[in-house]
A and B are shown apart, each in its own frame.
Chain A
Amino acid sequence: GQQVMQIPQYQHVQEGEDFTTYCNSSTTLSNIQWYKQRPGGHPVFLIQLVKSGEVKKQKRLTFQFGEAKKNSSLHITATQTTDVGTYFCAGDSSNTGKLIFGQGTTLQVKP
């Protein structure tokens, strides 16, 4: 079945350093979504990418969708302690809303 791989599993950075998490799907995706989950909380929607090669920015966060629509990345510039949490990518291969989640990348930021 469809698989979505995400790396790294954990990342510890010093505040102010950059951070990137990568996502790779075994199948071509209709769209890919990114979520952030804080400990004890539920996933919070960040963004959805639909077009091949799409790049979207939200303040210090930059999201990319690969040309083949099989991979994606989330890059955070100059991390802050508020960025702490687990970031999940989730792929939708059939545009039905059925999401297959990556394993998540847990970000720790040292002040």
Chain B
Amino acid sequence: GAVVSQHPSRVICKSGTSVKIECRSLDFQATTMFWYRQFPKQSLMLMATSNEGSKATYEQGVEKDKFLINHASLTLSTLTVTSAHPEDSSFYICSARGTLEKLFFGSGTQLSVL
């Protein structure tokens, strides 16, 4: 079946640094990718929709200058958390949608900002 690889699975960084998270569709072309954030014991909150070759569409309340999304190819989208702070600590997860309209999730990235 289709696989979405998300890397890294876990990252610990100092406050003020930037962290890049990659989401790759391994055996299909993902025209659209979605980025979610999940705080402990809470649901997944959609952050942004990423379409290949165009600017991402951010959900209300999500700072686009803080969470930079790049979808430069049909198999790769990246989320960069810029100048991370402890309140950005969360589980970030991507999903990718292929031409068959099925949706596949990555395994998630646990970000801890010290």
Interface residues of A (CB under 8 A from B): 1, 33, 41-45, 88, 90, 95-104, 106
The answer to whether A104 and B43 have CB atoms under 8 Å apart is: yes
Which residue of A has the minimal Cβ distance to B94?
A: A42
Q: Which residues of A contact B41 (CB under 8 A)?
A: 106
Are A43 and B44 interface neighbours, CB within 8 A? yes
CB within 8 Å of A: which residues of B? 32, 34, 36, 41-46, 49, 60, 93, 95, 97, 101, 103-108
> Given A95-B101, A98-B46, A42 and B34 touching (CB < 8 A)?
no
Specify the chain A residue showing the minimal Cβ separation from B93. A42
**Contact between A97 and B97, CB atoms less than 8 A apart:** yes
Question: If A98-B34, A98-B46 touch, does A42 touch B103 (CB 8 Å cutoff)?
Answer: no
Chain A neighbourhood of B95, CB < 8 A? 97, 99
Q: Is the CB of A103 within 8 A of B105?
A: no
- Given A1-B60, A43-B93, answer yes or no on A99-B106 (Cβ-Cβ < 8 Å): no
* Cβ B101 vs Cβ A99 within 8 A: no
Secondary structure of the B side of the interface? Answer: strand
Q: Which residues of B contact A102 (CB under 8 A)?
A: 43
Note all chain A residues with C-beta closer than 8 A to B44: 43, 88, 90, 99, 101
The answer for the CA separation of A71 and B24 in the assembled complex, in Å, is 33
Complex: how many Å from CA A106 to CA B42?
Answer: 10
A90 vs B38: C-alpha distance when bound (angstroms): 14
The answer to whether A98 and B49 have CB atoms under 8 Å apart is yes
Taking CB atoms, residues of chain A closer than 8 Å to B104 are 45
Question: Are B103 and A101 interface neighbours, CB within 8 A?
Answer: no
Pair B32/A97 contact, Cβ less than 8 Å: yes
By a CB distance below 8 angstroms, the chain A residues around B101 are 95, 97
Contact B46 A100 (CB under 8 A): yes
Task: List the B side residues contacting A104 at CB < 8 Å.
Answer: 43
Instruction: Determine the distance from Cα of A59 to Cα of B34 in the docked complex, in whole angstroms.
Output: 30
Shortest CB distance B66–A (Å): 21
Distance, CA A106 to CA B40, complexed state (A): 13
The 7 A-B pairs with the shortest beta carbon distances in the complex, nearest first, are: A97-B97, A42-B108, A101-B44, A101-B43, A103-B43, A42-B107, A97-B103
